[in-house]
Amino acid sequence: MCGIIGYIGKQKAVPILIEGLKRLEYRGYDSAGISVISPPRVDEQSSLRVEAGNQQPAISKNGKIDIITVKATGKVSVLEEKINGKDIAGTIGIAHTRWATHGKPCDKNSHPHCDCQKNIFLAHNGIVENYQELKDDLIKKGHKFSSETDTEVIAHLIEEFNKKFDFKNSVLAALKLLRGTYGLAIINKKEPDKIIVARLGSPLAIGIGNGEYIIASDFSAIIRHTDQVIFMEDGEVAILTKENCEIVNMKNKSIAKEATKVEWSVEKAEKQGFDHFMLKEIFEQPDSILDAVRGRIIEKEGMVKLGGLRDVKEKLADIEKIVIVSCGTSYNAGLVGKYMLEEYAGITVEVEYASEFRYRKPLLNKNTAVIAISQSGETADTLAAIREAENKGALTLGIVNTVGSTIANETMAGVYNHAGPEIGVASTKAFTSQLSILALLTIFLGRQRGMSFVTGKRIATEMNKIPKLIANILKQAKDIKKIAKKYVQYQDFLYLGRKYNFPIALEGALKIKEISYVHAEGFASGEMKHGTIALIDKNFPTVFIAPRDSVYEKNISGMQEIKARSGKIIAIATVGDKEIKKIADDVIYIPKTLEMLTPLLSVIPLQFFAYYVGILKGLDVDKPRNLAKSVTVE
Ligand code: F6R
């Protein structure tokens, strides 16, 4: 969690840092802070006068280099207001937006944190697991702490080493003592021409501009400035000056790294006229699915081409079992994948919460493929699961949206979603792109295991139609809003679905919980009568996903059971189904498609429903309380 941004160059740092923080706010938004190196005052008499053409406005009143820090509890806009009117003129600075792990959200716990002498300031994303023992030791040495955070120990450790080493070697020495994870951006008044950044387990990218560098937790904060990016890897430390970027490993050995050209545009990361990112991302789904399948489906051969799996193609043919590890929405996508892969590729699939998998003793071997599904590619539990799988000799694969992310880098092979940046905290377009990739994977693995050309072609043809079918559902946004208005006062919802749409019941319930803060339970519709039905009365409506598929009749019986107990029903049904209208109170229609692909359609009304209930309640749907977009802590 948390977002870090840093700037070093010729421009005023503050506007760049604030703009970057706003882009990173989805990573955490309970408090924010900024530290900028301010040059000495430049006046007529001063011997410190800087060269003409490289002149910087003055700020430090005492004629010395200073570090100006401003912190604020709350969103970045609160920090921005606090800074307004302050003349912070420096061209080197770091900033942070926080999602609290150690210490409650408040100004004193906000980053950047500093040492006793207020020379060293740093912004940190991650957790220092051994902070307490380090802190006790530092306190014995006379250090005074001013926050409750784990992060602050890093500043004091560097201060301690800085008594005998230069800045870089002090940072390296301090990092060696840390257990846990970090993405770090550090400045030091004693060497005010530098930012040092370091990465272990928390993402960091360095954007290369013209005589400037922008570092950030992800490149949505960088793309406005440059498309040339170096993705840092674990164990790397970069020493940035305006002119140079030196990258070393923990042994201070130089590492040569190439910049990558990032294709995402600035516009893609903006709201484009929609009220919220979530709504924009719901509407983007025809395009994001097209992007996910583009160039990958060879319809006339009933085949798919997945470049990221080329090197493991032979190995995949021998795989006997797949274990999908993921969390939240990505877990729900994995469940749909299980139904697809077992039915069409004839391969056993287990789906596990990554947070459980990492603490079990999973039975894996070289004939098991463990697939991590992750939008961010940074989810700590999923990453740990993949590492565990690799240790056990399994083949590790990723279905990841964020290019250059840790899970993408650490898995042996994989497929990118290409859904573009997902900024709304509630996952929407990433989910449908995950389902699309799973459908392609089903064709890929199925054709390796005897799936006929005809079946492969049928799935491929239907998959190609999905973007247009979704575009049709999107036209119903206003009607779904009307339905949401009818139900906005309810405090509890049951979501039911069966077979391919059981995971969609889970996903629909998750969406409304996180966006609208109402209680919702997702269930397999056949399970309802084994206990959950006791909840049903006129105040407990059910969202029933019941397209015309192989379990349609069973679902209709389930609906009758709910009606018999005075429960209200919103049904998601296949267009033309008049029968269902007689039972349900409200019906949202989706077009017809292949049964295995219905989740790609049935989830869209549920995303809209959650969104509209949320905004009708006046909630901030893009940044729901207590959540963060990328969960990089356990
Ligand atoms: C819900 C949501 C979360 C994520 C989960 C995994 O809308 O977004 O449940 O799906 O935190 O995140 P990733 O996919 O980034 O690993």
Q: What is the pLDDT of residue 197?
A: 98
Measured in whole angstroms, how far is the alpha carbon of residue 520 from the centre of its chain?
Answer: 23
CATH numeric code, 3-262 = 3.60.20.10
Read off the pLDDT of residues 189-207 as tens digits, 9 standing for 90 and up.
999 999 999 999 888 999 9
Q: Is 374 in the pocket of ligand 1 (CB under 6 A)?
A: yes
Q: Is 427 in the pocket of ligand 1 (CB under 6 A)?
A: yes
Whole-number Å distance, alpha carbon 521 to ligand 1 midpoint, is: 18
> For residue 382, which atom of ligand 1 is closest to its CA?
16
Opening angle at CA 528, ends 523 and 529, nearest 5: 165
Where does CATH 3.40.50.10490 sit in the chain?
A: 263-474, 476-634
d(CA 43, CA 30): 40
> For residue 328, which atom of ligand 1 is closest to its CA?
9
Whole-number Å distance, alpha carbon 630 to ligand 1 midpoint, is: 7
How much is the average pLDDT of 574-590?
96
Q: Is 328 in the pocket of ligand 1 (CB under 6 A)?
A: yes
Closest CA to 559 of 537, 543, 576: 543
- Contacts of 580-586 with CB under 8 Å at 24 or more apart are 580/546, 580/556, 583/556, 583/559, 584/544, 584/559, 585/541, 586/483, 586/486
Whole-number Å distance, alpha carbon 634 to ligand 1 midpoint, is: 13
For ligand 1, atom 9, the nearest C-alpha belongs to 328
Yes or no: say if 376 and 405 are a contact pair by the CB < 8 Å rule. Answer: yes
Active-site residue, from 2, 114, 245, 327: 2
DSSP character string of 127-141:
-BTTHHHHHHHHHHT
d(CA 61, CA 83): 17
Record the pTM: 0.77
Read off the pLDDT of residues 18-64 as tens digits, 9 standing for 90 and up.
999 998 887 777 899 999 999 876 553 343 333 333 334 435 666 68
Catalytic annotation on 2? yes
Closest CA to 9 of 230, 244, 199, 191: 244
Pocket test for ligand 1, best of 1, 324, 330 (most atoms within 8 A of CB): 330
For ligand 1, atom 3, the nearest C-alpha belongs to 328
For ligand 1, atom 5, the nearest C-alpha belongs to 328
Find all residues with CB under 8 Å of 244, minimum gap 6, and list them.
none
Q: Is 405 in the pocket of ligand 1 (CB under 6 A)?
A: no
For ligand 1, atom 11, the nearest C-alpha belongs to 328
Q: What is the pLDDT of residue 396?
A: 97
Where does CATH 3.60.20.10 sit in the chain?
A: 3-262
> For residue 629, which atom of ligand 1 is closest to its CA?
8
Superfamily of domain 263-474: Glucose-6-phosphate isomerase like protein; domain 1 (3.40.50.10490)
CATH numeric code, 476-634 = 3.40.50.10490
How much is the average pLDDT of 553-560?
94
Read off the pLDDT of residues 466-502 as tens digits, 9 standing for 90 and up.
999 999 999 999 999 999 999 999 999 999 999 999 9
Catalytic annotation on 104? no
Q: By mean pLDDT, which of 168-182, 412-426, 560-574 is the weakest?
A: 412-426
